[in-house]
Every structure is written in C-alpha cells, then in structure tokens.
Amino acid sequence: MIVTETKIRIYYQDTDQMGVVYYGNYARYYEIGRTEMIRDLGFTYKQMEELGIMLPARSLKINYLKSAYYDDLLTVRTIVDTIPKVKFPIKTEIYNEKGELINSGEVVLVFYSANTNKPVAAPKFFIDEMLKYFEAV
C-alpha cells in the first residue's frame, strides 16, 4: 500500500463569503495530493506525458464530512491500495489540524496512450516502482 501526505494551507481565494472552503476546491486538493504521490514514486505527470502516457480522470466521488475554513492547514492523505492495471483508483482523505477526517473520496484515473488515443496498461516502469511499496508491507 502507498500512503503519502501533503499539507495544504487554505487561502482566502479558496473560501466562500462564510470563510468556508468552496466545495469545488476539494477536487483540486485531491489532484495536489496525487501529483505529490506520483512525485514521491520518482516520476512527474510531465515525464509521464513526455512518454506518451496520459492520466485522465474517469470518475470522482467526494464525501463532505466537515467544513474547512480560511487559514486552516489541511493534511491530504493519498492512498493507493491496489496495483493499477488500466484503471488507477486513488483514495483520498483530508484531515484538519485537529486530526479530524473532514473529507474523503476516490478518483479513478485511466492510463491512456497519447499515440493511439486509447486506454493502455499501466507502464511497467511505473508498476515496478509501486511494487516496492507493496512488497515492503
């Protein structure tokens, strides 16, 4: 299993008139978490794209449990508990500074070839790096 954590500070631009994080921003927080998780694996989205591998979103599920507010420091926990094939499910949990779970969800990405415009199997180099985490358990 892969679990990474990314800190995100809530800025004024992220909130509505009540100082509460606008609900649409959570998808962006999920993306920040998974971008950093992929970076922790030793890759970047940019490198993947240069190799002709795209990762478009297939689905997004979000559960809003508690509000986040202006100036909060959130912890975005990104979790991969299965080795991807073509679909790449990534779970996300967001915690406030008190350690309370305030949001959870899942994004399913698809490995996609820029050359053929079709879904493809996850690249071997990517799977090999992920296996190091799964074998360490």
Q: What is the pLDDT of residue 134?
A: 86
pLDDT of residue 30: 98
The full set of domain ranges for the chain reads 2-135
Residue 135 confidence (pLDDT): 77
Q: Which two tokens stand for residue 17?
A: 């008139």
What span, in angstroms and rounded, lies between the C-alpha atoms of 30 and 49? 19
Give the Cα separation of 84 and 117 in Å (integer).
Answer: 19
CA distance 105 to 77: 11
Domain 2-135 has CATH 3.40.720.10: no
Look up the pTM and report it: 0.93
Name 64's bridge partners: 103
What pLDDT, on a 0 to 100 scale, did the predictor assign at position 116? Answer: 94
Average pLDDT for consecutive 10-residue bins of the chain (137 residues)?
96 93 96 96 91 96 97 98 96 98 98 95 94 79
Distance CA 41, CA 128 (A): 10
Report the alpha-carbon distance of residue 101 to residue 71 in Å, rounded. 17
Q: What is the DSSP string of 26-52?
A: HHHHHHHHHHHHHHHTT--HHHHHHTT
Residue 28: per-residue pLDDT: 97
Buried b (16+ CB within 10 A) or exposed e, 38-77: beebebeeeebeeeebbbeeeeeebeeeeebebebebbbb
Q: Residue 136's pLDDT is what?
A: 66
